[in-house]
Amino acid sequence: MGEGRADEELMAAYRGGDARAFETLYARHRTRLFRFILRSVKTRAVAEELYQEIWMRVIEARGTYTVRARFTTWLYSIAHNRLVDHWRKRGLTLVSLEGDDVAGGAPDPADQAQAREALARFAAALEALPPLQREAFLLHEEGDLSVAEIAAATGSSEEAAKSRLRYAMAKLKAVLDDG
């Protein structure tokens, strides 16, 4: 139920008291949002804590939700604000990608090792990005936000959002080009 409805419609329904609409909305965005948080902080425990807080804020703010922008933009703006608070308090470090399932896919052990190594370099490059560039990249990848929406979610100008995203993509692409 509600699978075909737009995010904005579901959120409006939830604002009106329809809890099932929230369930649908949550199912749609839970994984991506979690990954976004996970790639932005130090430990998984912190990521889970922030993740829950973000959804609590969504629930509390349901009364003031209005369809002025995409639901995704609104959701990730809440996530951004929470992350900024976190960064300010604790400084920025990222979750180590060790232990995460790495979908290499290559059957040959040598190839597998090479793939794993390439992925590790990519993960390290992502980790090494300046926070705002990394955030722009993650909003783009996980939230599927456009440059304008990234700007809206992060409270920055479109030029700044575009620049950050471009730099992030360039650095990550350079890592891939290196092998």
Partner 1 sequence: MADERDPWVSQRYRELGDAQPPRELDQAILAAAHRAADRPHAPLVTPAGRHRWYFSLAAAAVLMLAVGIALHIERQQPDPEAVSLPEKPATQPSAQVAKERRDAPQSAAAAPPAAHEAEKKPANAALKKEKRDAAEGSRPAAQPAEPPAGQTDRLESAPAQRRAEMSSAAPELRAMRKPAPAARAPAASNYLETPAETPERELERIAELRKLGRDDEADKALAEFRKRYPDYRIAEEMRAKVERPGPAR
Q: How far is the CB of 116 from partner 1 (least distance, A)?
A: 10
| Token pair in block for residue 176 | 């891939």
Residue 152 lies near partner 1 (rule: CB under 8 A) = no
Nearer CB in complex with partner 1: 16/88? 16
Amino acid at 72: T
At residue 99, what are phi and psi to the nearest 5 degrees? Answer: 90, -20
Amino acid at 138: L
* CB-CB contact of 146 with 152 (8 Å): no
Amino acid at 146: S
Which one of 4, 63, 107, 179 is in contact with partner 1 (CB under 8 A)?
Answer: 63
Separation of alpha carbons 39 and 83, rounded Å: 11
> Segment 67-96, which members bind partner 1 (CB under 8 A)?
none
Which one of 12, 75, 123, 152 is in contact with partner 1 (CB under 8 A)?
Answer: 123
What is the binding site for partner 1 (CB under 8 A)? 14-15, 17-19, 22-23, 26, 30-31, 34-35, 38-39, 48, 51-52, 55-56, 59-60, 62-64, 97, 100-105, 118-119, 122-123, 126, 140-141, 144-147, 162, 165-166, 169, 172-173, 176
